[in-house]
Amino acid sequence: MYVGVAYPHKNLSFLLKAWALFKKTYHTDHQLVLVGKENYFYQQLLSSDVWKKCPDVCHTGFVPDDDLPKIYQSASLYVMPSLYEGYALPCLEAMRYKLPVVSSQATCLPEVLKGAALYFNPFDTNSLVETIHRGLTDMPLRETIISAGQKLLTNYSAKTLAEKTLAIYQKTVDNI
């Protein structure tokens, strides 16, 4: 699954091309689910040739925050194909639901996600195909990634943020 907008830098056309190759190569019954409000960019994607050639893809449109947990809990894997991210919030949200994450190795994603994701080259469809396959079928690897995600999330908890903020304030006050 993927949750988010369909801006060009999110690389969803690439994801669809890789998904079609994945289905052709591995003949699985998995379905790709794209969750995101239909806007200009989703309309462009949904009317593209790559969409028409891509089997087993569902676009849900907008899903309210209260309903997202159900979708995450029924997913097997979260995919972040982005070429550019300011942060990795959708990946962290997926980790919250104990989903293994497959992520582009672009920009800040490896820095934020560290060892809690499987990475692929966002310009190489074979790289994504093989990474999705590993993420779905290698059970020990899935468990390792899920566990690493749970540990990583402790770095981003409200408590950790408050403690770090307090430490910065205390250091600033001590230096005055």
Provide the pLDDT for residue 70.
96
Domain of residue 76, residue span: 2-174
- Amino acid identity of residue 141, one-letter, is L
- The DSSP secondary-structure symbol of 82 reads -
Tokens of 36: 């995101």
Provide the pLDDT for residue 49.
96
Confirm if 158 and 117 have CB atoms less than 8 A apart.
no
With a CB cutoff of 8 Å and minimum separation 6, the contacts of 78 are: 1, 2, 3, 72, 90, 91, 94, 99, 100, 101, 102
CA dist list (Å): 74 to 7, 77, 97, 120? 25, 9, 10, 23
- The CATH code of the domain that includes 25 is 3.40.50.2000
- Amino acid identity of residue 134, one-letter, is R
- Chunk the chain into consecutive blocks of 10 residues (it has 176) and report each block's average pLDDT, rounded to whole numbers: 97 98 95 97 96 91 96 97 93 96 97 97 98 98 98 86 82 85
The length of the chain is: 176
Domain count, the chain: 1
Provide the pLDDT for residue 131.
98
Place of tokens 């639901």: 97
